[in-house]
Amino acid sequence: MLLFTLLMACGPDRPLVEQYEQGEWEPASFEIASMGGQRAGATVIFVLRLEDPAGRRLILEGIVEINPQAKLVGGGWVEERGATTRSGILSSAVVDFFGGQGDRPSLGGQFTLSADKIAVYRVNLPATLLTAER
């Protein structure tokens, strides 16, 4: 399993966001609008905001614990599309965390956004510097 994970990590680049449609993951044209958060001891709280050209917004909020591996222990997401919103649970089998001792930490990984126990989006986040939340 570890070898499979390593091979997938070294494989071709995946789109930042994929949408689950008709039984397949299809690329979605979201870009990172902002990535904020901070580390407090062994806990990292983050907020990732994504936007697409059509005006859709995805907001992911999560809590990662580092003990010693990074693990997502809680989180949720909201999609805003005009006046319509939907939300759900954020999960992840792979979380990458770097730094945070003397500088801003970076966070990445693969996150699945589910609603009513059905996968809706998958975010393939490269290690991204967390800026301070305001």
Give the model confidence (pLDDT) of 19-76 as tens digits: 999 999 999 999 999 999 988 889 999 999 999 999 999 999 999 999 989 999 999 9
Q: Cα–Cα distance between 80 and 84 in angstroms, integer? A: 6
pLDDT confidence tier of residue 4, bands split at 50, 70 and 90: very low
- Label each residue of 88-107 as H, E or C: EEEEEEEEEEECCCCCCCEE
Domain ranges within the chain, ordered by starting residue: 2-129
d(CA 19, CA 23): 10
**Can you give the pTM of this predicted structure?**
0.86
Q: CA-CA distance, 104 to 129, in Å (whole number)?
A: 7
